[in-house]
Chains A and B, each alone.
Chain A
Amino acid sequence: MMSPAVILLLLWMIVPLAMTLYFSFLRYNLLMPGTEAFDGIQNYRYFLTDPAFLEALGNTLMLVGGVLCITVIGGTLLALLLDQPMFGQGIVRLLFIAPFFVMPTVSALVWKNMFMNPTNGLFAFVAKVFGGTPIDWLGHYPLPSIILIVAWQWLPFATLILLTALQSLDSEQIEAAEMDGANAFSRFFHIVVPHLARAATVVILIQTIFLLSIFAEILVTTNGGPGNASTNIPFLVYAQSLLQFDVGVGSAGGIVAVVLANIVAIFLMRMVGKNLDL
């Protein structure tokens, strides 16, 4: 009964991937139909030696790494906070998780126009109130700005999962440690942190899958610019294939992206295999 699902997923993976692989060895531009010819590894050579590639690779890693750092550390702290007794906990939780449900194009445009815009954005207003000069966030710091936007979207996810894990921690264990004279510091590092490791692994795994393919946020805020300052690998491949219509080079880029994702995936699966028994 699982064969339809397996067959569909296989087709979905293998047919397009094989086509991408095939195209990546062709000289093939959509604007010049009928001139397709075998081209060896020229496309790969072009894509990999293009300075934009190294820049995009660096940006991809910065984006994934930056957002992971902010969300895992911030999420842990927020989860610890939310786990404390307080009034109106349920409502606070709703406030914290809300950004996760905002569609990427909305959050990117809202941040871009209503917060980061150097003339009538709210950040500019705040800067002026405190006597500073407004900053053109997306113009001068495109990548950090995008990291901020994406981290805002994913912080709730990390918080929610770490909070769920924290709530399953047996409070008697903490009390026992307390009685044995463990201070707050060692209680945190010897009981809470190991308990959260599994949830944190899951957070990193899931977020990495999504963060490696960030696209919409870049498309609507900076379009990859200025120059290539905020272009990541997915955006570079998109620009190469659907804006410049160079199917050959775009496909080579696609294959490179798949290989990179696989390298990351192998690491992640190892980590998951250790921490996650299914």
Chain B
Amino acid sequence: MARQVTLNRRLINTAVAWSLGLLIFFPILWTILTSFKTEAEAISLQPSLFGFDWTLENYQEVNARSNYPRFFANSVIIAVGSTLLGLCIAVPAAWAMAFVPSNRTRGILMWMLSTKMLPPVGVLIPIYLIFREFGLLDSRIGLVFVLMMVNLPIIIWMLFTYFREIPGEILEAARMDGANMKSEILYVLTPMAVPGIASTMLLCVILAWNEAFWTLVLTTTQAAPLTQFIASFSSPEGLFYAKLSAASTMAIAPVLILGWFSQKQLVRGLTFGAVK
């Protein structure tokens, strides 16, 4: 029996939920709108929601003046690079734990989770000094490595929860049909593992894109990603609301769109498979 709901109640729910949703979304909407205003309108004491002269000049100026494409490229390289590198290391590990579990597997997984609890400031100075020693400060390769390490426990955990759901019987069936180890992995397990790996990758790119501790303390200009570029707007002389909004809109748009597509995987990934 489906629960009966009156149209009235449905309308009230809709009104309340939409108002709250728009309220929560408003700061983002406001940023997007401000990015199309002139600087004068952006700081106007009589702000207008839609009734202003729409302009694209902020986007043009941010792109032309501040080397924006370079920061954007750094963000892409660091987020994608650290994710791919992390997957290379995490896939075999998660694979082994899911398909050949030992009685230490659970302990190792919990230990990996606990490494996430190590506050970054606890290792800030050594990492900073090591990076300085090896000329890795403000280098993309250094950041790729650090972000890979930061996200590695999450990647392994997430992959593990996906791999664990691949039924073991299917392997037996393949073996009965005469499949050897190589074809087992290639033709049976890999196709079943691909969706899990893809979701993990998506989540990990989002996390790396938005990471804002290491990217802020280890970079200045050369390897600086968008987090650092946006942070540079915090100095009073860089205070241009409309340009800040344009830069922000471009910085959040890719991840916002990726994120909207990956809500389901997000829940699963960030809760280490505990909530699905």
Residues of A within 8 A of B (CB): 1-2, 4-6, 8-9, 12-13, 15-17, 19-20, 23, 78, 81-82, 84-89, 92-107, 109-115, 119-120, 122, 125, 152, 155-157, 160-161, 164-165, 168, 171, 175, 198-199, 202-203, 206, 209, 212-213, 215-216, 219-221, 233-234, 237-238, 241-242, 247, 250-251, 253-255, 257-258, 261-262, 264-265, 268-269, 276, 278
Known contacts A122-B47, A199-B275; A20/B259 CB under 8 A: no
Query: Could you pull out 26 A-B pairs where Cβ atoms are within 8 angstroms?
Result: A4-B92, A4-B93, A85-B10, A86-B14, A86-B17, A88-B14, A100-B266, A101-B206, A103-B209, A104-B212, A105-B216, A106-B252, A109-B231, A122-B30, A125-B46, A160-B267, A161-B271, A161-B275, A164-B275, A165-B275, A171-B3, A216-B216, A242-B124, A242-B128, A254-B125, A261-B119
B119 touches A234 (CB 8 A): yes
A238 touches B121 (CB 8 A): yes
Residues of A within 8 A of B233 (CB): 109
B118 at the interface (CB under 8 A from A): yes
Checking A105, A160, A261 against B212 with a beta-carbon cut-off of 8 angstroms, the contacting residue is A105
The majority secondary structure among interface residues of chain B is helix
Residues of B within 8 A of A89 (CB): 17
**Distance A81 CA – B12 CA, assembled complex (angstroms):** 11
Most interface-central of B126, B213, B251, B272 (chain A CB within 10 A): B126
Residues of B within 8 A of A (CB): 1, 3, 5, 9-11, 13-14, 16-18, 20-22, 24-25, 27-28, 30-31, 34, 43-47, 89-90, 92-97, 106, 108-110, 112, 114-130, 149, 152-153, 156, 206, 209-210, 212-213, 216-217, 226-228, 230-231, 233-234, 239, 241, 244-245, 248, 251-252, 255-256, 258-260, 263, 266-267, 270-276
B234 touches A20 (CB 8 A): no
Known contacts A103-B226, A109-B233, A257-B119; A155/B24 CB under 8 A: yes
Given contacts A19-B126, A20-B122, A101-B252, 6 further A-B contacts (CB under 8 A): A4-B93, A6-B93, A103-B227, A115-B30, A213-B213, A216-B231
Checking A95, A104, A215 against B21 with a beta-carbon cut-off of 8 angstroms, the contacting residue is A95
Known contacts A6-B108, A19-B125; A215/B216 CB under 8 A: yes
Residues of B within 8 A of A113 (CB): 239, 241, 244
Known contacts A4-B92, A233-B121; A105/B231 CB under 8 A: yes
Q: Quote the shortest CB–CB distance from B143 to chain A (angstroms).
A: 14
Q: Quote the shortest CB–CB distance from A259 to chain B (angstroms).
A: 9
Closest to B105 in A: A2
Known contacts A98-B256, A102-B252, A199-B275; A262/B117 CB under 8 A: yes
Q: Quote the shortest CB–CB distance from B99 to chain A (angstroms).
A: 10
Most interface-central of A81, A100, A103, A165 (chain B CB within 10 A): A103
Checking A20, A86, A97 against B13 with a beta-carbon cut-off of 8 angstroms, the contacting residue is A86
Checking B21, B123, B256 against A101 with a beta-carbon cut-off of 8 angstroms, the contacting residue is B256
Q: Quote the shortest CB–CB distance from A237 to chain B (angstroms).
A: 4
**Distance A251 CA – B263 CA, assembled complex (angstroms):** 39
A110 touches B119 (CB 8 A): no
Most interface-central of B93, B115, B130, B255 (chain A CB within 10 A): B93
Checking A96, A105, A255 against B122 with a beta-carbon cut-off of 8 angstroms, the contacting residue is A255
**Distance A165 CA – B274 CA, assembled complex (angstroms):** 10
B216 touches A219 (CB 8 A): yes
Most interface-central of B24, B112, B127 (chain A CB within 10 A): B24
